[in-house]
Amino acid sequence: AQTVTQSQPEMSVQEAETVTLSCTYDTSENNYYLFWYKQPPSRQMILVIRQEAYKQQNATENRFSVNFQKAAKSFSLKISDSQLGDTAMYFCAFMKAGTALIFGKGTTLSVSS
């Protein structure tokens, strides 16, 4: 069975700084997808970024980028130029093709001014 581990329950960062959230996963699959979802206080689940395992190039979406290390089964999220609106719970998630998402326990990120 697949598992997703987020080892940082809470993180804090100042506005405009950079922060990296960690995620590791365990799977015997070769074809899968990885995601970071953001859940602000409104509790809406918002897709931040996604990565296909077969792609070596790390995904980037504006201020958000990932460091995908397939051999190490690591998938970290880097947030550059942090903003107050980035304050949220961040979930790392794994998906095998055609199946449901499996989430990690989440990391609460607080951005302060």
Footprint on this chain of other proteins (rule: CB under 8 A):
33, 35, 37, 42-45, 47, 50, 52, 91, 95, 97-106
Q: What is the C-alpha to C-alpha distance for residues 60 and 57, in angstroms, rounded to an integer?
A: 9
Residue 52: CB minimum distance to other proteins, A: 7
* 13 vs 101, beta carbon nearer other proteins: 101
C-beta neighbour count of 12 within 10 angstroms: 13
Q: What is the C-alpha to C-alpha distance for residues 29 and 43, in angstroms, rounded to an integer?
A: 31
Considering only CA atoms, which of 105, 110, 60 is closest in space to residue 85? 110
Residue 23: CB minimum distance to other proteins, A: 12
* 28 vs 42, beta carbon nearer other proteins: 42
Residue 44: CB minimum distance to other proteins, A: 5
